[in-house]
Amino acid sequence: MLEFLKKNAPGVRLFLLVFLTLYLELGLIRFTAAEVLYLGYFSNFVLMSAFLGIGLGFLLAGKTIKLFDHLPLVLLLLIAFVIVTRIDASALREDSGQLFFGFAGSKARIPLALCLVVIFALSTLLFASIAQETGRCFPHYKPLTAYSIDIAGSLCGIVAFTTHSYLGGGPVQWFIVASLAVAVLSSRRTVFDAILMGLGLVMLVYVTSPTDYSRWSPYQRIDVLRQGDQSYLLRANGIGHQTMVPVGHKEPVYDYPYREVVKLRGDGAPFRRALVIGSGGGTDVSYALHYGVEHVDAVEIDPQILAAGRRFHPVRPYADPRVTAHVTDGRAFMQRASGPYDLVIFALPDSLASFSNLSNIRLESFLFTVESFQQASRLLAPDGVVVLYNYYRKTWLVEKLAGMLGRVFGHAPLVRCYSEEDGGKLCALAIGPTVHGDPLPGAASYAPATDDWPFLYMQSPKLPTFYLWVMGLFVLGGVAAVFASGHATRRNLRSNGPFLLMGAAFLLLETKSIIQFSLLFGATWLVNSLVFAAILTSVLLANLLVSRLRIRSPLWLFALLLGSLAVHIALPLDTLLGIASFPVRYTVASLVLFSPIFFANLVFGYLFKDTPKSDAAFGWNLVGTMIGGSLEYTSLAVGYRALGIAVAALYIVTAFWAWRILRHPAKAAVDASAPAEDTATAEVKAAEASPATETETAG
């Protein structure tokens, strides 16, 4: 074993570095979302800083400076800054062009813009420190071998963090793992400093952790605070989310379905079977039981919110034998439920977490679409009712929901508003075959949220100015990384342009596929994790095929990629949703949604295997993800189906560019003025002057 580790030391180090990168990336995204109020709505903020840092680190692999020596200090400074400043990013909600659930933020101690710049800069430097060491490991192997080790480390990092989160691990445990990994990877000269910094980091996180009931779910941090003898406040990522109180202590909208709407049913009979989507701590369920509902299916996506309800709700609704709790996504449950239900309640499923770090989608986004309401209508009994209630921050939001419900049922819903403050309204909407109301004046004025454009909290498709600024900053960050590393030459761009474009295209493709797959099978953490694992496994399989097969030209690979993209774009998602058989739907969806990803990896592997400077090419590819991350925001204006067209366009340009390079390889040679490799790498290459290395250089 020791002999194996000694012989393969660069590979083991590469694996551990990438493992640390993914584990720390996921941990920081979760930690900052909980500590920086409302930053969870903009989870790709940290993700883009990670992409920028990793790309910059690879491009700096040939520099003599060793950033990794400063990694423990940078990590400690980042976490300390986030904890001590107690940043409130609520102002972002008002400038983003979307509405967000939550209360008004507090006055910032430090200007928000400065805080976000500091977090972004420290996070970028953090991941650049790890990636520079990762890039220095690449030249020890053939490009595809190094890339495969990289992917294997990524896969293990994701699996480890996902497992840790499932078991309830929190920041203290996350940073213990990260600090141990940093210490193992540190040199003898710096290992003592790394251990001291790691101990300081863990102690800081431990002493500042919430002292009351606090749990980390796979989505967010859940805190429960006692407010009275029979009153508990549940907070998600530090923001008040819902209260757990006995019947009679909540707003009248909770009584509305049972006191008023029930009278409008065909026979006026009480509700017998109810479905509560977003059951949370259980208050909505307790009201249903109080009014005599015989059976309640309670659906809650977050297991820790459900656990808090079981433990703290004064009425103990989840212990009632009439209640069946389901820890799953609301859309996924409705797809497989048979019904019929007399009452379907969309309770308060407003999440304070994003569905994916790659997108603008929130956990509840696909619950409030026309297609979701259609599913709910199919589960109703002949005189059943769908009810929505909430505090809607804008009047137009009530009108938009009324218009969407009207599209599904063919008539306007009954709308009852109880109070109005700060421009918002506490309202309930009820609709069913026998329940209808008067049309609202502006109900038809707003674009309905659909599965393709699932943005309920926007009045119409557009790209708000806020996101234009963010897109510009992401692209500017990528350009700055190229210039800062000294790779900004025309010849370097000519030779690495395809990798840049493939980075942008693949991030868009990955985002679109993950969102659509999760819509088909549930937006749960498990589905999300399995999809990422499947994507990384497909990368390994593609690398294996490229290394074994003799592919003379990449053009037919591009043809397969573009052909699979055409099917991916042309096939309506409704067609897949309409497949009743789960095994058949899973098989067809996997082929349609993930075939382009597999062929994209074949293309990348083919072009990457013969690149003379794999670290630089990989750096350019990661900088390209900054472009892809910025382009994802265009979904706010055009929806997610149109992103497939952007992906196809990027790969078409890549194909043309790669064809030009293959025809004129001399013109695309890496610029000699690019940063030289460090001495250690040069020595390794000289010692390992194998035929494979000669082929790579000649390519």
The string of pLDDT tens digits covering residues 40-59 is 556 578 888 999 999 999 99
Q: Measure the CA–CA gap between 305 and 236, rounded to whole angstroms.
A: 9
* Highest mean pLDDT pick, 64-68, 293-297, 576-580: 293-297
Residue 355 falls inside a structural domain: no
Q: In sequence order, what E strands does 96-191 have?
A: none
**Which candidate, 699, 687, 698, 693, places its Cα nearest to that of 141?**
693
**Residues 225 and 111 both lie in one domain:** no
CATH of the domain at 194: 1.20.1250
**Residues 694 and 595 both lie in one domain:** yes
Query: In this model, does residue 695 exceed pLDDT 50?
Result: no
Query: In this model, does residue 684 exceed pLDDT 50?
Result: no
State how many domains the chain has.
2
Of 37-41, 64-68, 453-457, the least confident: 37-41
Q: Please count the CA atoms within 13 angstroms of the CA of 9 that sit on its side-chain side.
A: 8
Residue 365 falls inside a structural domain: no
The pLDDT value recorded for residue 357 is 54
Query: In this model, does residue 694 exceed pLDDT 50?
Result: no
**Residues 112 and 256 both lie in one domain:** no
How does the average pLDDT of the chain come out, rounded? 86
**Which candidate, 344, 459, 336, places its Cα nearest to that of 397?**
459
The pLDDT value recorded for residue 107 is 46
pTM (2 d.p.): 0.86
**Residues 14 and 104 both lie in one domain:** yes
**Residues 376 and 483 both lie in one domain:** no
Residue 437 falls inside a structural domain: no
Residue 215 falls inside a structural domain: no
Query: In this model, does residue 414 exceed pLDDT 50?
Result: yes
* Cα-to-chain-centroid distance, residue 634: 16
CA dihedral 395, 397, 401, 404 (to 10 degrees): 110
Q: What percent of the chain has pLDDT over 70?
A: 87
The pLDDT value recorded for residue 40 is 58
**Residues 270 and 405 both lie in one domain:** yes
Q: Mean of the pLDDT values across residues 459-469?
A: 87
* Highest mean pLDDT pick, 78-82, 678-682, 691-695: 78-82
Query: In this model, does residue 203 exceed pLDDT 60?
Result: yes
Query: In this model, does residue 681 exceed pLDDT 50?
Result: no
**Residues 425 and 478 both lie in one domain:** no
The pLDDT value recorded for residue 2 is 54
The pLDDT value recorded for residue 527 is 84
**Residues 175 and 27 both lie in one domain:** yes
The pLDDT value recorded for residue 105 is 46
The alpha-helical segments, DSSP class H, found in 321-394 are 330-336, 370-378
**Residues 187 and 268 both lie in one domain:** no
Q: What is the pLDDT of residues 220-256, one digit of tens each?
A: 899 999 998 889 999 988 888 899 999 999 999 999 9
**Residues 258 and 403 both lie in one domain:** yes
Of 371-385, 405-419, 483-497, the least confident: 483-497
Query: In this model, does residue 433 exceed pLDDT 90?
Result: yes
Q: Measure the CA–CA gap between 234 and 378, rounded to whole angstroms.
A: 33
Long-range contacts for 89-96 (Cβ within 8 Å, ≥24 apart)?
89/36, 89/37, 89/38, 89/39, 89/42, 89/116, 90/37, 90/38, 92/38, 92/39, 92/41, 92/42, 92/466, 93/38, 93/41, 95/464, 95/465, 95/466, 96/41, 96/42, 96/464, 96/466, 96/467
Could you count the other beta carbons within 10 Å of the beta carbon of residue 523?
28
pLDDT category at 409 given cuts 50, 70, 90 is very high
Give me the numbers of helices (H) and strands (E) for the chain, helices first please: 26, 11
Answer yes or no: are the C-beta atoms of 313 and 286 closer than 8 Å.
Answer: yes
pLDDT category at 673 given cuts 50, 70, 90 is very low
What is the SS3 assignment for 590? helix
Residue 441 falls inside a structural domain: no
Could you count the other beta carbons within 10 Å of the beta carbon of residue 679?
9
Query: In this model, does residue 110 exceed pLDDT 50?
Result: yes
Burial of 673 (0-12, 13-18, 19+ CB in 10 A): exposed
**What DSSP character marks residue 397?**
H
Of 112-116, 346-350, 559-563, 675-679, the least confident: 675-679
CATH of the domain at 342: 3.40.50.150
pLDDT category at 103 given cuts 50, 70, 90 is very low
Residue 655 falls inside a structural domain: yes
Of 107-121, 285-299, 523-537, 554-568, the least confident: 107-121
Q: What is the pLDDT of residues 343-353, one digit of tens each?
A: 999 987 655 55
Answer yes or no: are the C-beta atoms of 40 and 353 closer than 8 Å.
Answer: yes
For residue 556, give every residue at least 6 positions away whose Cβ sits within 8 Å of its Cβ, in sequence order, or none.
none
Residue 314 falls inside a structural domain: yes
The pLDDT value recorded for residue 476 is 87
**Residues 377 and 489 both lie in one domain:** no
Answer yes or no: are the C-beta atoms of 76 and 200 closer than 8 Å.
Answer: yes
For residue 461, give every residue at least 6 positions away whose Cβ sits within 8 Å of its Cβ, in sequence order, or none.
447, 453, 455, 636, 637, 638, 639
Q: Mean of the pLDDT values across residues 122-136?
A: 97
Return the higher-pLDDT residue of 460 and 466. Answer: 460
Q: Mean of the pLDDT values across residues 634-656?
A: 94
Residue 104 falls inside a structural domain: yes
The pLDDT value recorded for residue 465 is 84
For residue 296, give every residue at least 6 positions away whose Cβ sits within 8 Å of its Cβ, in sequence order, or none.
273, 274, 275, 276, 285, 288, 289, 322, 323, 324
Answer yes or no: are the C-beta atoms of 613 and 138 closer than 8 Å.
Answer: no
Return the higher-pLDDT residue of 620 and 104. Answer: 620
Return the higher-pLDDT residue of 574 and 438. Answer: 438
Answer yes or no: are the C-beta atoms of 620 and 496 closer than 8 Å.
Answer: yes
Burial of 534 (0-12, 13-18, 19+ CB in 10 A): middle
Amino acid at 341: Y
Query: In this model, does residue 682 exceed pLDDT 50?
Result: no
The pLDDT value recorded for residue 667 is 59
Q: Mean of the pLDDT values across residues 90-111?
A: 52
The pLDDT value recorded for residue 350 is 59
Q: Residue 425 sits in which domain range?
A: 221-350+370-431
**Residues 471 and 521 both lie in one domain:** yes
Return the higher-pLDDT residue of 353 and 628. Answer: 628
Residue 60 sits at the vertex; the CA angle it makes with 505 and 615, to the nearest 5 degrees, is 55
